[in-house]
A and B are shown apart, each in its own frame.
Chain A
Amino acid sequence: MRKFNLILAVIALALLPLTCSYNLYLLRRPFLMQRPEVDQSARAILNKIPGGRVLKYQIGRSLLQGASYKLYIDHYHDGELVERHDRSSGGIDSWIGTQPFAQLYIYSGTDREAGDCWFGFGPAYGTLRFKPADDYYHPVFEGPDKLRFEKNKPLTLAVLAFSDQVWPSSQPGPAFDKKGALKPEALQHGDIFLVQLEFTDSLAPIE
Chain B
Amino acid sequence: MAELKAGFDVVRKHHWLWLLPVVLSLGGLFLNMLLLGEWPLSPPGLHFKATIPASIPEIGNIIPGPNLGLASGSFGVFVLALVVTLFKTFLNAGYLAGGVRALKGESVDMPTFWADCQHFFKRSLLIGLLLLFAAPVSFAVLAAIHPIVALVAAFVAIIYLFFWQIAIVYEDLGLREGFTRGHTIMRENLSEIVPLLLIILLMSGVASLILSPLARYYWGHLLAILIWSFVGASLFIALIHRYSELAGQRQ
A99 to chain B, nearest CB (A): 8
Task: Write out the residue numbers on chain B whose beta carbons fall within 8 Å of the beta carbon of A58.
Answer: 70
* Interface of chain A, main secondary structure: helix
- The reply to whether B23 and A11 form a contact with Cβ atoms under 8 Å apart is yes
A101 to B43, CA, bound (A): 11
Given contacts A1-B109, A61-B43, A8 and B33 within 8 Å (CB-CB): no
Q: Does A109 touch B at the CB level, under 8 Å?
A: no
Contact of A61 among B15, B38, B109 (CB under 8 A): B38
- The reply to whether A8 and B39 form a contact with Cβ atoms under 8 Å apart is no
Q: Does B20 touch A at the CB level, under 8 Å?
A: yes
Q: Which of B1-34 touch A at CB < 8 Å?
A: 14-16, 19-20, 22-23, 26-27, 29-30, 33-34
Q: Does B130 touch A at the CB level, under 8 Å?
A: no
- The reply to whether B33 and A23 form a contact with Cβ atoms under 8 Å apart is yes
Q: Please give the number of chain A residues whose Cβ is less than 8 angstroms from any Cβ of chain B in the complex.
A: 28
For the complex of A and B, 9 pairs with smallest distance between CB atoms: A60-B38, A8-B19, A1-B107, A15-B26, A98-B43, A62-B38, A5-B15, A100-B67, A4-B110
Q: Mark B residues whose CB is within 8 Å of A.
A: 14-16, 19-20, 22-23, 26-27, 29-30, 33-34, 36-41, 43-45, 66-67, 70, 107-110, 113, 218, 222
Q: Mark A residues whose CB is within 8 Å of B.
A: 1, 3-5, 7-9, 11-12, 15-16, 18-20, 22-23, 26, 31, 34, 58, 60-63, 98-101
24 of the cross-chain contacts (CB-CB < 8 Å) are A1-B14, A1-B107, A4-B16, A4-B108, A4-B109, A4-B113, A8-B15, A8-B23, A9-B15, A15-B27, A16-B222, A18-B30, A22-B33, A23-B39, A26-B33, A26-B38, A31-B37, A61-B38, A61-B41, A62-B39, A100-B36, A100-B43, A100-B66, A101-B67
